[in-house]
Chain A
Amino acid sequence: MRRYALCALLSLMACSDDSSGPGSGDATSTASIAIPPNYGIHDTFVRDGLAFVSAWNSGLLIYDVGNGIKNGSPSDPRLVSTIVTADRGVPGGAQVHNAWWFHDPSGSRRYVFVGQEGPGVIGRSATGDIHVVDVTDLEHPVEVAFYNLAGAGTHNFWVDEAAQVLYAAYYNGGVVALDVSGALSGDLSSREIARVLPGGQSYVWGVQAEGGSVYATDMLSGLWQLQLAGNQFLVAGGGANVAARFTSDLWVRGGYVYTGTWGQRGAVGNAVNVWQLDAQGAPVLVDSVVTDNITTVSDVEVSPDGSLLLFSSENGPRAGLRFYRLTNPASPRFVSDYLVPGGVHTATFALIGGRLYVFAAKNPPEPALLIVDVTDL
């Protein structure tokens, strides 16, 4: 009983319970912004002091967290605007899941790409489009374009901004590459460059372009290395390399890839797999970090300076945020965790005013955008 009480107290305090390691302090709560329980918050994209909060049918919420447009800061986020993107006939409504504020090579910051996560059967079917929102006037965003892939639904994005190519993980549709150069308007189906189902029957969660390759995590078959050659994807390496668990998110940094796991297969999704990229960029599994008392690693990211690995976790008493030191990137060393009752769906680093923050999507029943200062970790 005492043990449960202590766990509950730790959870309520959302405290960092282990600050071991050189130079490490605590992750400290900076702000918590309640999000309407509609279903809540799914992802956050932070750039130039603006946080683009994907809040399902409440829409895309744009907060000033240090940009200055509304005198906001991480401790005092100010809402700039909200846009509820069109449902485009997808059952369930706007279902705003993720966003990417695109800075093109010319310096234009006109577009935000928004992912719609419609209903689906995980592993088999999905729905939802890519929506393009013009934020030329940040206080009055306007939806201007869309992309639909019939019979499939989009999930996470990565934009190769120099090449002006958006890569979308498209669940049962695999990976899609879109040309996002120039003005975007209406139906973007003609902008499709290529798409691929890397594992045959695939269910692609995440995608990231790095070093001339595109890495994709297929929930069913693991981590793939793809290459965009002209108007087609080539499978360059990886694949069929995670059988014991379902694979979730990924992050590529400095010749390594960190991938999460999800749900329950032979084993539960409590692992982060560490992959080293060989000379051709193909992934080779070198380590796994397993965390007891969680069942999903829902988001993975490395800090901008490459020193910290972060992952968010769900479904279990240790759910929340977890931090590892990457002194040796092949062997992450635990630094600290930050427990959040109900878990965290996604998390992302942001450097604002010289301090390092994590923006975390706290799950229902009381969904919130958590802003945590991790500078001293």
Chain B
Amino acid sequence: MLAVTWADRTPFGDARTEAKVVHPVVMARFARGPFRLDATLNLEAATMRGGELALGVWGEGFNDRRHPHTVAHELIVSVGTRRWSVSVGKGFVPFGSDDPMSRPALRYPVNHHWSQLLERAVTAAGVRVGPAALEAALFNGDEPERPGQWPAWDRFGDSWSARLTLFPAPGLEAQVSTADVASPEHRPGAGPEHRKWSVSLRAELPRGRSRVTSLVEWGRDAELDGFFRYYTALAEAQLERGPARAWTRLERTDRPEEQRVFGDPFRSVRPHFDNSILGISRWNTVTVGAARTWTWRRAVRLEPLAEVTFARVTNVTGVVQTPEALFGRNQLWTASVGLRIGAGAPIHRMGRYGVLANQDLHGHE
């Protein structure tokens, strides 16, 4: 997708406009007998190495920019049946909700690092009994420091997660998950562990020519025995009607504030060398967007879109770095127009391996 994004304000600065190619992915799935490969190649390292302008979004040393993901985004081999599975490789950990790239909005939510765990060396086992699926995984806690970096193999197994997914009725999917992630932000392993919880309910409701997809989620991340606690609540919905779609997202998410790097107000100091932060800010955002798809020769999809986000940022604990000090005010706007170009199957729900693979919300495979 080619996206032009305008943001007002930016950290220690005024309004800014940038054009980037975002979400450049190549996805493939292969299945034979009990074996299956899920692979996603992410080319953001080439198209947005400095990140995507996105106020509020943070992680991996980026602030108010979404970081580029690693090139080998998913490379997971699974073996099993509908009742059981084992998955091994690099990819998503069974925790939280769907990756934002496969959800309606262009812009990532602030809670990406609270609600998904990805790009890890993971071994997961799953069992499926009736309308319930239980997954558990071991993985490495460290998150990538740059797009070309592989997980720290010697840290494999220092972190774990478990997710229970329920399919209570056609079109409904609920999950509750927890994870204990060792030192995600300090690759050598000296950083604090993160104790995480996520609960979400996802619904897909077809109505004639229309379809409504919605997600509500809540999450908590506690660090240093709960000394720092971050909460997130999010609700989003999309209405699809023929080739057109419109979406909205409401979010309230806490994020840590960290000292910015000299000369780059969008980056924070890495690696950490103590356990202090500059405060916690709370991002209350409203996002609305719309798009329409045209198909060219049944092979290529072209989807122009427009999206606007309003954020009201409040200060939870900061003294030396408040939203007002950072941005000059606490009401911020971000707007984007873009053109998505796709071929083949649409972006699939990433992180759905083993017993959750090929399972839509209506029980179909």
| Chain A residues near B (Cβ < 8 Å) | 37-40, 42, 56-57, 91-92, 95, 97, 117-127, 201, 203, 219-220, 246, 263-265, 268, 293-295, 315-317, 345, 363-365, 367
Whether B190 is near chain A, meaning CB under 8 Å from some CB there, is yes
With a cutoff of 8 Å between Cβ atoms, the chain A residues found around residue B274 in the complex are 39, 42, 56, 95, 97, 117
- Partner of B227 from A38, A91, A203 at Cβ < 8 Å: A91
Contact of A315 among B227, B262, B280 (CB under 8 A): B262
Contacts known (A39-B272, A121-B276); A246 close to B320, Cβ less than 8 A: yes
Chain B interface SS verdict (over half): loop
Would A365 and B276 count as touching, CB distance under 8 A? no
Interface magnitude class on chain B: 20 to 34
Q: Which residues of chain B are near A316, meaning CB under 8 Å?
A: 262-263
A124 to B259, CA, bound (A): 15
The majority secondary structure among interface residues of chain A is loop
Q: Which 4 A-B pairs have the closest CB atoms?
A: A123-B319, A91-B224, A316-B262, A119-B275
CB pair B318 A123 closer than 8 Å: yes
Is the Cβ of B271 less than 8 Å from the Cβ of A121?
Answer: no
8 contacts between A and B (CB under 8 A): A40-B273, A91-B226, A119-B224, A119-B275, A122-B279, A124-B318, A264-B12, A363-B273
Additional pairs, 7, CB under 8 Å, beyond known A91-B227, A97-B274: A37-B271, A38-B189, A56-B273, A117-B276, A123-B278, A124-B319, A264-B12
- The residues in B between 227 and 279 inclusive whose CB is less than 8 angstroms from any CB of A are 227-228, 259-263, 269, 271-279
The docked-state distance in angstroms from the alpha carbon of A127 to that of B12 is 30
Report the bound CA distance from A331 to B275 in whole Å.
Answer: 37
State A38–B272 Cα separation when bound (angstroms).
Answer: 10
Query: When A92-B192, A92-B275, A119-B276 are in contact, do A39 and B186 touch as well, CB less than 8 Å?
Result: yes
The residue in chain B whose Cβ has the minimal distance to the Cβ of A126 is B276
C-alpha spacing A246/B320, complex, angstroms: 8
Smallest beta-carbon distance A32→chain B, Å: 17
Q: Is A121's CB under 8 angstroms from B186's CB?
A: no
Q: Is B317 an interface residue (CB 8 A)?
A: yes
Q: Does B168 contact A (CB under 8 A)?
A: no
B272: A residues at CB distance < 8 A = 39, 364
User: Is B170 engaged at the interface, CB distance under 8 Å to the other chain?
Assistant: no
Q: Is B131 an interface residue (CB 8 A)?
A: no
* CB-based contact B262/A317 at 8 Å: yes
Question: Which residues of A lie under 8 Å from residue B278 when comparing CB positions?
Answer: 121-123, 263
Max chain A C-beta neighbours (<10 A), residue from B12, B227, B277: B227
Chain B 314-342 per-residue mask, 1 if CB under 8 angstroms from chain A, else 0: 00011111000100000000000000000
Give, as a whole number of angstroms, the nearest-CB distance from A306 to chain B: 31
A317 to B275, CA, bound (A): 24
Q: Does residue B14 face the partner (Cβ distance < 8 Å to A)?
A: no
Q: Does B225 contact A (CB under 8 A)?
A: yes
CB atoms of A121 and B317 under 8 A apart: yes
> Within the assembled complex, what's the spacing in Å between the Cα atoms of A159 and B235?
56
Chain A residues within an 8 Å CB radius of B273: 39-40, 42, 56, 345, 363-364, 367
Cα–Cα, bound, A333→B227 (Å): 44
Given the known inter-chain contacts A123-B320, A124-B317, A125-B317, please indicate yes or no for A315 contacting B261, CB distance below 8 A. yes
